[in-house]
Amino acid sequence: MTTYHSTRNSEKTLTASQAILQGIAPDGGLYVPDHIPTLDIALDHLPDMTYQELAYDVMKKFFDDFTEEELKHCVNAAYDDKFDDSSIVPLVKAGGNHYLELFHGPTIAFKDMALSILPYLMTTSAKKNGSTKEIVILTATSGDTGKAALDGFADVPNTRIIVFYPKNGVSAIQEKQMVTQKGDNTSVVAIDGNFDDAQTNVKNMFGNADLAARLDAAGFQFSSANSINIGRLIPQVVYYVYAYGQMVKQGAIAAGEPMNVVVPTGNFGNILAAYFAKQMGLPIQKLIIASNENKVLVDFFDTGAYDRNRDFILTTSPSMDILVSSNLERLLYLMADESTEAVQTFMDQLKEIGRYEVTEAMKEKAKDFSADYATEEEVAAQIAALYHADGYVIDPHTAVAAHVANTYVAETDDHTPIIIASTASPYKFPQAVLTAIDPEFSDDSIEEMLDRLRELSGVAFPAAIEELLHAEVRHNTVVASNDMQKSVESILGLN
């Protein structure tokens, strides 16, 4: 059986369902499997498999304490007609690259791919472990996780969800999606800081023993919907395996040939999922990290030094406006030959002085990765160029990846077929997209921007946008970042 332990201490092991239920380890570490299982599906069979079939086959390798019936129920309940494309994740060729459209779920962003299944994994895990406590999903978001988690957990029995987001650090659409969220068990709180402030305070609450005791006495337990939860991360592995099959099906590669993957990333979860797919045996040659001007990851992979002591920049790709990339901790663990002591040291240094530096031997372990970034001007130019050449409209996060992909090919002459993870619908960022395509565009109302984008793209409003246009604001709380715990205590009636 696959067991899980913290990246900071390997002494206590858990089953998959226990790790999913806890979300984050009590010592602040992230749960990792004791091994990366091997993909046992023949590559030439992948093109013929449905997304649901692949999801079961990949996830059963990691979540092997779930019965076949339990896991298939989770998969089939998650990946159904809430996605507006029967393939779940279409693969579209434009501008010489293949775009893996991960935004066809209910909140039109890639987080739906995992957060559609996490509530089912979570509630199944609770039953399997005899938990009678009410699960409180505590989450910080840089824009997309919040809405996808809220949508997934809304009115799920025996759960509550509290989402914190930076008041001035998300797009207008992202904010409206969150503050209009329905559900008697949902709470949305804006903070006056940035995403890193929100994420740090959420992690501190997870590690607060006094708060944990009070939660326990009141019949609650915390869990997470961020990609720090292994139940969020593993479902993301699936779509890279599926994408490979679709590349074979479309004739872009033959079964067994390599592909490169370019992923816009801030918290490192999405590209870590691609790395896990590669470790399982999927022929991914290069994992290319695409950052915006908050390029802490690019600098880390270039130099081996991770340094968050820098200005935090608000960009048109806000889901990547992150300086502390939580999921990098899982890669550090693998780079350090699974030394939990080394990871603990690095994380202590990050907390105390805001930086750490890995050894040359550890850097060598990360040679499968390449990293680059796009400026705001390059992002806008990429959106415009792809639209004017192919009529294909992409959001700013996807544009970061497209620019980095094209730069990578130009600089390396590596023409291995590329998949770009297209992480959000352009409808989620209409102002940035329209301004890029038409520099004369004026700042209109949300409704006018959406109508204009529909004209340009020729793509009908997703259901999420239709619903949003008529939604009523239900959440309007704003707190100082250092009052986040007080807010949680008030919501749960602990004070």
Contact 424, 109 (CB under 8 A): yes
Mean pLDDT of 247-276: 97
Instruction: Give Cβ neighbours of residue 368 (< 8 Å, ≥ 6 apart).
Output: 275, 278, 284, 286, 287
**440, pLDDT greater than 90:** no
Mean pLDDT of 356-382: 97
**344, pLDDT greater than 80:** yes
Mean pLDDT, the chain, rounded, equals 95
| Per-residue three-class SS string for the chain | CCCEEECCEEEEEECHHHHHHHCCCCCCCCEEECCCCCCCCCHHHHHHCCHHHHHHHHHHHHCCCCCHHHHHHHHHHHCCCCCCCCCCCCEEEECCEEEEECCCCCCCECCHHHHCCHHHHHHHHHHHCCCCCEEEEEEECCCHHHHHHHHHHCCCCCEEEEEEEECCCCCHHHHHHHHCCCCCCEEEEEECCCHHHHHHHHHHHHCCHHHHHHHHHCCEEEECCCCCCHHHHHHHHHHHHHHHHHHHHCCCCCCCCCEEEEEECCCCHHHHHHHHHHHHCCCEEEEEEEECCCCHHHHHHHHCEEECCCCCCCCCCHHHCCCCCCCHHHHHHHHCCCCHHHHHHHHHHHHHHCEEECCHHHHHHCCCEEEEECCHHHHHHHHHHHHHHHCCCCCHHHHHHHHHHHHHHHHHCCCCCEEEEECECHHHCHHHHHHHHCCCCCCCCHHHHHHHHHHHHCCCCCHHHHHHCCCCCCCCEEECHHHHHHHHHHHHCCC
**444, pLDDT greater than 80:** no
pLDDT at 394: 98
Which class for 68: exposed (0-12), middle (13-18), buried (19 or more C-beta within 10 A)? exposed
Check if 111 is active-site: yes
**67-126 pLDDT per residue, tens:** 999 999 999 999 999 999 999 999 999 999 999 999 999 999 999 999 999 999 999 999
Pick the catalytic residue: 60, 82, 93, 111? 111
pLDDT at 465: 92
Q: What is the residue whose two structure tokens read 């529909």?
A: 454
Mean pLDDT of 35-55: 97
Q: What is the pTM of this model?
A: 0.94
Strand partners, 165: 190
- Could you give the 3-state DSSP secondary structure of residue 201? helix
Mean pLDDT of 176-195: 95
Mean pLDDT of 142-156: 91
Q: Which of 46-60, 326-340, 439-453 has the lowest mean pLDDT?
A: 439-453
Domains of the chain in start order, with CATH, are 91-107+231-425 (3.40.50.1100), 134-218+465-494 (3.40.50.1100)
**216, pLDDT greater than 90:** yes
Strand partners, 262: 288, 420
Strand partners, 371: 289
Per this entry, what is the length of the chain? 495
pLDDT at 78: 97
Closest by CA to 147, choosing from 193, 203, 103, 108, is 108
**In this structure, what DSSP letter does residue 251 have?**
T
Mean pLDDT of 319-344: 96
Which class for 76: exposed (0-12), middle (13-18), buried (19 or more C-beta within 10 A)? middle
Which pLDDT band holds residue 294 (cuts at 50, 70, 90)? very high
pLDDT at 441: 82
pLDDT at 227: 83
